[in-house]
């Protein structure tokens, strides 16, 4: 196939006259594909073109595959019984079941419902902050990691890396202290020194009374699939425990099997005080977020003084359809743990082979997530065009990837079959020849 990368002609009409898409510069975007159906790992287009392999689970949400009938039926059945009820005065069986199951699985007793990953993070930050207020020990300092991404609402932006994406708001974001993230890859020889440096900086910052330390366990997602060792997280936890600060794990991406265990915290053997979950929670069927909280924190919000109350809620809190999808998704996860436990060893031979390619650097793999950097000339970073060119090439070969700058990754639905996975890797390998 004759291929050359063509920058798209600036146009405000690529998306028609009414839609404003997320995270997209319209002027330089490739016109969108029209999708009319999904089936397991495949997206079906509205013309005779072949289906596209969704190699990134539609922004990391599609866990068991598109249009999974078991989950679809659970939602349909629930919709015929109860679609929604105000959750401040009522409860319902799907919410109770989901809360019970997630408490048992995470080891954190209380569940607070919200609508997406950003709100699950906002809720964690607000609970952590108010916890110290309620104990009459108000604190100011929050600590996050360089390169972090925690969402797009103001609080979530504040704890995230300050960059191009939140520049217009920089002055309006509350201050957050930052520690380097000692990301690692295969055959990395300097990781221990970098980890030590990060731990020392964290120790120093924690001399100041601190509300919480927030991190994405094992993998920073949007920050470039930047993976750290389990040992590092163990050390972070130890230092945080010595200081009394709370530990918040943002498992919005890493939760529900993505890192090979049900939760990345489990794999790293750390016990956070709060865990934010979303994305895979409903297997990508419905928007929902939850924040899991240690009972002792919850207890500090109980009392006759109205000031103790967590005055936070969303219209769709604990939406029964979302809860039904969550419970059905958990059924599937628990019914077949091999689906998430086994994906790492399915990636492994492919990534090993790709790692020999001269343009591939820093190969890395954890659970269902495989990533590498394209060795490119000129500046790296999100706006580097090599990733864009590879994305366009892959799409022409019916594989959907969405590199983060020069970071290429696969994060497929658990149901991806061997030949589809093989096709993702061979397409990337061929595409590297033209970038």
Ligand X SMILES: *Cc1c(COP(=O)(O)O)cnc(C)c1O
Residues that bind ligand X (CB under 6 A): 116-118, 121, 149-151, 216, 221-222, 250, 252-253, 278
CA–CA separation, 217 and 275 (whole Å):
10
Residue 221: C-alpha distances to residues 132, 239, 263, 303 (Å): 29, 24, 15, 39
Q: What's the min distance (Å) between Cβ of 267 and ligand X?
A: 16
> Residue with CB nearest ligand X?
117
User: Kind and range of the H or E element at 242?
Assistant: helix 230-243
Using the minimum distance from each CB to ligand X, give the nearer residue, 143 or 354: 143
Phi–psi pair at 295, nearest 5 degrees: -55, -40
Q: What DSSP assignment string belongs to 197-215?
A: HHHHHHHHHTTS-EEEEEE
Q: What's the min distance (Å) between Cβ of 149 and ligand X?
A: 6
Q: What's the min distance (Å) between Cβ of 122 and ligand X?
A: 9
Using the minimum distance from each CB to ligand X, give the nearer residue, 118 or 368: 118
Using the minimum distance from each CB to ligand X, give the nearer residue, 147 or 387: 147
Q: Count how many Cα atoms sit within 13 Å of the Cα of residue 254 in the half-sphere of its side chain.
A: 31
Q: What's the min distance (Å) between Cβ of 144 and ligand X?
A: 11
Q: Residues 12, 16, 21, CA angle at the centre, nearest 5°?
A: 75
Q: What's the min distance (Å) between Cβ of 222 and ligand X?
A: 6
Using the minimum distance from each CB to ligand X, give the nearer residue, 75 or 288: 288
Using the minimum distance from each CB to ligand X, give the nearer residue, 93 or 313: 313
Using the minimum distance from each CB to ligand X, give the nearer residue, 291 or 392: 291
The 3-state DSSP class for residue 262 equals: coil
Q: What's the min distance (Å) between Cβ of 326 and ligand X?
A: 14
CA–CA separation, 354 and 31 (whole Å):
30
Q: How large is the greatest C-alpha to C-alpha distance in the chain, in angstroms?
A: 72
The token pair that represents 414 in the structure block: 């658990």
């Amino acid at each position: 196939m004759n291929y050359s990368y063509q920058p798209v002609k600036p146009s405000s009409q690529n998306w028609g006259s009414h839609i404003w898409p997320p995270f997209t510069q319209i002027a330089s975007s490739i016109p969108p594909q029209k999708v009319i159906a999904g089936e397991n790992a495949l997206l079906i287009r509205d013309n005779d073109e072949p289906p596209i392999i969704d190699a990134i689970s539609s922004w990391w949400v599609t866990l068991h595959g598109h249009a999974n009938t078991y989950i679809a039926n659970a939602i349909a059945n629930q919709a015929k019984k109860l679609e929604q009820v105000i959750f401040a005065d009522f409860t319902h069986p799907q919410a109770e079941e989901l809360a019970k199951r997630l408490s048992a699985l995470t080891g954190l007793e209380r569940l607070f419902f919200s609508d997406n990953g950003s709100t699950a993070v906002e809720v964690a930050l607000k609970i952590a902050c108010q916890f110290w207020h309620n104990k009459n020990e108000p604190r100011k300092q929050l600590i996050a990691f360089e390169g972090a991404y925690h969402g797009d609402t103001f609080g979530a932006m504040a704890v995230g890396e300050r960059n191009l994406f939140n520049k217009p708001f920089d002055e309006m974001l509350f201050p957050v202290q930052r520690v380097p993230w000692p990301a690692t890859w295969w055959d990395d020889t300097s990781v221990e020194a970098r980890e030590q440096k990060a731990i020392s900086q964290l120790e120093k910052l924690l001399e100041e009374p601190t509300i919480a330390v927030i991190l994405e366990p094992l993998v920073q997602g949007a920050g470039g699939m930047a993976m750290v060792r389990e040992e590092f997280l163990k050390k972070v936890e130890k230092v945080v425990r010595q200081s009394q600060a709370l530990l918040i794990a943002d498992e919005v991406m890493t939760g529900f099997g993505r890192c090979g265990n049900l939760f990345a915290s489990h794999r790293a053997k750390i016990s956070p005080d709060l865990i934010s979950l979303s994305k895979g929670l409903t297997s990508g069927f419905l928007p929902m977020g939850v924040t899991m909280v240690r009972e002792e924190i919850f207890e500090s919000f109980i009392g006759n003084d109205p000031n103790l109350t967590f005055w936070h809620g969303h219209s769709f809190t604990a939406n029964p359809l979302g809860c039904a999808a969550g419970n059905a998704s958990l059924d599937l996860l628990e019914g077949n743990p091999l689906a998430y436990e086994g994906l790492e060893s399915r990636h492994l031979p492919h990534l090993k082979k790709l790692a020999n390619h001269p343009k591939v650097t820093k190969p890395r793999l954890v659970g269902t997530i495989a990533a590498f950097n394209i060795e490119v000339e000129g500046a790296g970073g999100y706006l580097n065009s090599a990733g864009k060119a590879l994305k366009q090439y892959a799409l022409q070969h019916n594989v959907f990837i969405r590199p983060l700058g020069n970071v290429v990754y696969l994060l497929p639905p658990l149901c991806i079959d061997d030949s589809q996975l093989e096709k993702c890797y061979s397409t990337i390998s061929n595409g590297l020849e033209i970038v």
